[in-house]
Amino acid sequence: MNGVQKKNLSDLTSEMENAEKTKKAEEQVDQKNSTEPTSEHGKMNTPNKEDHHKRDKQSQEEIKANQESENHKNSEETKFDEQSSEVSKQDIHKRTYFIQNEILIPDENESIEYKRYNYPFSEDLEFTLKRTICSFLNKKGGRIYIGVQDRDKKVVGLKLTSKDRDTIRNDVPKLINEFYPKISHEELLRVDFVPVRDENNKPIPRLVVVKIIVKQGDRDKLYSVTTRFLQCFMRMDGSSKPLDAEETTSILKKRWSQAGGEDRVNPKEFNDPRPKQVIDESSEKSFPGRAKW
C-alpha cells in the first residue's frame, strides 16, 4: 500500500468516527428535548413565579369550591335532621323516650292530658284518671302522660321499680271495671312505660313516664264511670267536662240519628310505637316498656 492510499484510509476512518460521535450527540439532544416541556416556538418552557402563582390560585379556588359544596351538603343534612327532630317532638305519641326536664311542645287538648302524680296513687287521683279515661272514650280517644307537669309541660318522670310497674299494669284496667256500658280493657286500654333519659341521652334507672292509651269508644254509646247512675264525662277544651242529664240525652239522640256520628277515629291511630326499654337500677336489666294490647 503506497502513502496516498494510507492517507485516504486514515481520513476515511477519521470521518466515520466523527460521524458516529455526531449521531450519538444528536440522539442525546433529541432524547432530552422529548422529556422537557417546550413552548409552541420550540424553546424550553421553564417554570417561573407567574406559573406557580396561577397554579396555586387555581388549586385554592378548587379547594374553596369543594369546601362550599361540602358545607352546603352538610347544611342540608343538618336542616333535614332538625326538621325530622321537630316532627318527632311535635308528635309526642311516637316518642319512645323522653329527656328529663324537657318541655313538651303540645298543650293539653282533647286528646292529651298531662299529670304530675306520685306513686302510689291516692283514691282522689284514681278517680281523676277514671274521669279522664271516660272523657276520652266518649270523644276521640287520647293519651294520659303521668310524670309530666301540666302547668309547664316539663318532663319529671316517676321512679318505679319493676314491681311498681307490674302493679300499675294490673291496677289501671281495674279503674274501668265499674264503667257502664261494660267494656274490655284489652280492646280499649293500654299502659306503656316510656323511659326518661338525662341531658346526655343516658338512661336514668327506673325513671319513666306512665302513658295510658285510650281508644275511642263505641260511637253509639256514652260511657259512665259508674253503673249506679249515669256519670258521664266528655273531653272539651283540654279538660274532662261532666255531662248533665240534658246534655247526655242530647248527645245520645244526635249519635243515634247519625248512626254514631261523624267523628270516628281509625283504631290504628292508637298503635303507638314500642317504647325503649326501662333500666332497672337494682339488677341493671332491661324490661319491656310496653304492655300487651
Q: Which residues pair with 207 in a beta bridge?
A: 159
Reduce the secondary structure of 223-292 to three states and give it as a string. Answer: CECCCCCCCEEEEECCEEEECCHHHHHHHHHHHHHCCCCCCCCCHHHHCCCCCCCEECCCCCCEECCECC
Cell of 164: 311498681
Instruction: Answer yes or no: are the C-beta atoms of 270 and 213 closer than 8 Å.
Output: yes
Instruction: Answer yes or no: are the C-beta atoms of 168 and 160 closer than 8 Å.
Output: yes
Closest residue by Cα to residue 159 from 211, 210, 100, 206: 206
Q: Say what the pLDDT of residue 201 is.
A: 94
Q: Which residues pair with 240 in a beta bridge?
A: 235
What SS3 class is residue 180?
strand
Unique residue bearing C-alpha cell 276520652: 136
Compute the distance between CA of residue 46 and CA of residue 37 in angstroms, rounded to an integer.
Answer: 8
Question: With a threshold of 0.75, does the pTM exceed it?
Answer: no
Compute the distance between CA of residue 269 and CA of residue 140 in angstroms, rounded to an integer.
Answer: 10
Q: Say what the pLDDT of residue 77 is.
A: 46
E strand intervals along the chain: 98-99, 112-115, 142-146, 158-159, 189-197, 203-214, 233-236, 239-242, 278-279, 286-287
Compute the distance between CA of residue 289 and CA of residue 279 in angstroms, rounded to an integer.
Answer: 10
Cell of 178: 265499674
Cell of 139: 270523644
pLDDT in tens, the chain (293 residues): 544 444 454 555 565 666 666 666 666 655 555 554 544 444 445 556 566 566 666 667 777 777 766 665 555 444 434 443 444 555 899 999 999 999 999 999 999 999 998 899 999 999 999 999 999 999 999 999 999 999 999 999 999 999 999 999 999 999 999 999 999 888 899 999 999 999 999 999 999 999 999 999 998 899 999 999 999 999 998 999 999 999 999 999 888 887 656 678 998 999 999 999 999 864 445 555 654 45
N-to-C CA span, the chain = 126
